[in-house]
A = this chain, B = another copy of it.
């Protein structure tokens, strides 16, 4: 591992994407979302995408200076054509539009298609919550890697789901997870460490229980979390993220471009209901009670979003640990682009 301060990783990333034609503003935003993923502990969605996104720019899948455009709109809704720019730019446009409409009309729904990989989806719901809006976010991933419950073979992407709410206190409320038992990144980590994985994470290509992290890349698949209940949420993300927005489903049979997301945010203004001040007061009280619940031995009860908050505080101080292999790839990329590495 190479430990690098967050700010240094950011400056490097900004130079990488500016060297490929992105404006400084866009590069800074994009890189901010990736470094934030590392800071919050979600390395699977972090700076290793400097390399992957650069490949996709080169292959023509990511159009660096395209602008997402609203193609259909009402006071409470919008549908956005992402124009295949960075998915993060499109997702931010979705969040901004949803929050703006919810501020004025109390409830809004905004979706997007032609959208590349948007990264860690909690980034956008948390942003909404910081602007005093409750946001739920249904995202499909147009590459199948997860089975249906009781199914053999890949059927869906990891179809993440997120909810965030304003709390008015230091305690966040941020639900943000893949609807598979684990994100694909955890398998990658286990493979790199040559460690075994729990039997309820994946199946091998024959549908057999396995503890081998290599089984995934050899035709295996991830399982949905929580049996049929997780499958319900997995399919809700498929219908709302992909079908409702006209994006690619996991079972479409289409594989190009390589990593599309179909995204749909529902935004709710507490002012339309109990009122913002009361919502925050009552949420703070509830979360405080939850945090002080007695816990099973060796554990504590956490509010969704707390692990991310704690990781960010730690990593802002200590820096971000990047695997040697990833760091090597980033340096090679910089060398090709003529970007200086300190």
Contacts and interface: CB of A to CB of B under 8 A. Distances in A.
Contacts of A106: 74, 76-77, 109
Contact of A244 (B111, B147, B279): B279
A99 to B, nearest CB: 14
A293 B304 CA distance: 34
Contact of A230 (B226, B228, B274): B226
B296 A235 contact: no
A52 to B, nearest CB: 26
Interface stretch (A11-19, A20-28, A31-39, A149-157): A149-157
A136 interface: yes
A169 interface: no
Interface of A: 72, 74-77, 79, 105-109, 111, 134, 136, 147-153, 155, 163, 165, 173, 175, 177, 179, 207, 225-233, 235-236, 238-240, 243-246, 249, 251, 264, 266, 268-270, 272-274, 278-279, 282-283, 286, 289-290, 293-296, 299-304
B152 A282 contact: no
21 contacts: A72-B273, A74-B105, A76-B76, A77-B272, A79-B272, A107-B107, A107-B266, A109-B266, A134-B244, A148-B301, A151-B293, A152-B295, A155-B293, A228-B304, A232-B304, A235-B303, A240-B268, A243-B274, A244-B268, A244-B273, A249-B286
A177 B239 contact: no
A303 B239 CA distance: 12
A40 to B, nearest CB: 15
A260 to B, nearest CB: 15
Given A173-B239, A245-B273, A266-B268, A148 B232 contact: no
B266 A175 contact: no
A174 to B, nearest CB: 9
Contact of A153 (B270, B286, B294): B294
Contact of A235 (B105, B226, B290): B290
Nearest to A284: B243
A103 to B, nearest CB: 12
A113 to B, nearest CB: 8
The 8 closest A-B pairs by CB, nearest first: A226-B226, A175-B232, A107-B109, A77-B106, A77-B272, A150-B299, A246-B274, A151-B293
A152 B207 contact: no
Contacts of A302: 150, 228
A76 B244 CA distance: 19
Contacts of A179: 229
A238 B175 CA distance: 13
B274 A79 contact: yes
A224 to B, nearest CB: 9
Contacts of A228: 302, 304
A286 B149 CA distance: 15
Given A79-B274, A151-B290, 15 more contacts: A106-B109, A107-B266, A136-B136, A136-B236, A136-B266, A148-B290, A148-B293, A151-B295, A175-B232, A177-B232, A225-B229, A225-B230, A231-B304, A233-B233, A246-B274
